[in-house]
Chains A and B, each alone.
Chain A
């Protein structure tokens, strides 16, 4: 199974427009917030990136996770709805490759999503903080690096949620079941206290974390936990694929 085939399968599913539209929607959050409430945020010696993330990231992250979940459901819905999965399973490739390629596809879309959000935050920094808080080319460069670091961190932390969504979608043949489970997980994550490290490790809660203003030790712990979760979910999917063949 190759990545190109996986990309072909999403034609006419609404997968691509959903991510693009979702990216613009998430990008609109900081812009609209600043448009109507900029007086609350613009102060002389604040860190613009930290302010923008603190003020908007919870909403943006929620949109991101919902998009990732919806994307995962769409990807497996196309496999199950007309029984295409059965044909795929009779072709000479490892079924785990199908899962990995779907994950790469979601990762690619998340990168596009994050790029749109980076552009929106960059625009907010330039438009509302440029000249007053950010000064000179060095200041802008510093802000750009900070935005990229923050969103890179956010992209990494969304991966366990993406993998878990794909894992759930691969188990449930009915898309509405996987979507329902995913939505329940997301709402559970929103109810978990963000300052509790252990509870924040729930894959759907991790994307709500932000880099700006977080202690380096905590950042390191989240990155380590995130990588561990990615490995665990991948292993769980491999085991599931083996077990399914035995029980079918």
Chain B
């Protein structure tokens, strides 16, 4: 069963198509890796799913609720972290989370749980403006995890983290479907990153979905089309290069 489905989702800005007729199928209870080079349209898709930007065409359904009719209902089910950490710099980490907690009407214990999960408990009383980039990233994640939402949308959540932090967050994301019974849509431009986290992947380039399926299906597709398939990073690069060449008419 798919918890997120988009149909012909399109976003254009003055003639430039950031996303073109995208049809995503994200199964419930899985980690879905959203891959693509910079500027492929990953963040735009995520912003559309969160209602931050209105699709030019198409629609989507999240947990049986259709956008735009049920925008607020959809947002009640999503925890999100988009592009860069968003926080009130004048407030401490804990106060930032308390704002979200009070808006979502969650118990106070939800804040402690989210801080514990993301490892910011010892920095909770420090103003968020004084956090390092990695700490801000963790604060953003903690905010997304508040209240154990059934759907998590994470846009490059490991940006700015050190290798230990990357490992911790990766392990956390990987464990979320089992721990909280949630579905995670996580984006990255690194296949190696997604490979270790995701059950399913979608590859996006220039706003077009080039592949959707499991990692095994990706290997099979690569073998069929003559792409390298021993190393998934090479497979990803070959798919993107091939698509780029087709678009520029070089092939």
Contact = CB atoms under 8 A, between A and B. Distances in A.
Given A8-B95, A82-B129, A90 B88 contact: no
A87 B90 contact: no
A90 to B, nearest CB: 5
Interface in A100-151: none
Given A2-B103, A8-B95, A92-B104, A84 B51 contact: no
Nearest to B98: A8
A37 interface: no
Contact of A92 (B75, B85, B99, B140): B75
B80 interface: yes
Interface string B128-171: 11000000000010010000000000000000000000000000
Interface string A63-87: 0000000000000001001111111
A82 B87 contact: yes
B54 A78 contact: no
B80 A90 contact: yes
B90 A92 contact: no
A90 B75 contact: yes
Interface string B36-75: 0000000000010011111000000000000000001101
A248 B86 CA distance: 17
A237 to B, nearest CB: 18
Given A12-B90, A82-B89, A83-B86, A91 B103 contact: yes
B82 interface: yes
Interface residues of B, number: 35
A104 to B, nearest CB: 16
A43 interface: no
A86 B76 contact: no
B53 A248 contact: yes
Q: Which of A5, A8, A91, A93 has the most CB of B within 10 A?
A: A91
A196 interface: no
Contacts of B231: none
Contacts of B51: 89-90, 245
B87 A84 contact: yes
Contacts of A13: 90
A200 B103 CA distance: 40
A86 B89 contact: no
A5 B102 contact: yes
Contact of B100 (A83, A86, A91, A94): A91
Contacts of B176: none
Contacts of B76: 92
Nearest to B75: A92
A238 interface: no
Contacts of A11: 90-91, 95
A82 B83 CA distance: 12
Nearest to B78: A90
B91 A86 contact: no
Given A91-B103, A92-B72, A245-B52, A81 B82 contact: no
Contact of A86 (B52, B54, B104): B52
B9 to A, nearest CB: 15
A168 B104 CA distance: 28
Contact of A84 (B53, B75, B78, B88): B88
> Which 10 A-B residue pairings sit nearest by Cβ, starting from the closest?
A87-B86, A92-B75, A82-B89, A83-B86, A92-B76, A12-B90, A86-B86, A248-B53, A90-B50, A84-B88
Interface of A: 1-2, 4-5, 8-9, 11-13, 78, 81-87, 89-94, 245-246, 248
26 contacts: A1-B103, A8-B99, A9-B91, A11-B95, A12-B90, A12-B91, A78-B89, A78-B90, A82-B85, A82-B88, A82-B89, A83-B86, A84-B86, A84-B96, A86-B83, A87-B86, A87-B140, A87-B143, A90-B52, A90-B78, A90-B82, A91-B103, A91-B104, A92-B75, A92-B76, A94-B72
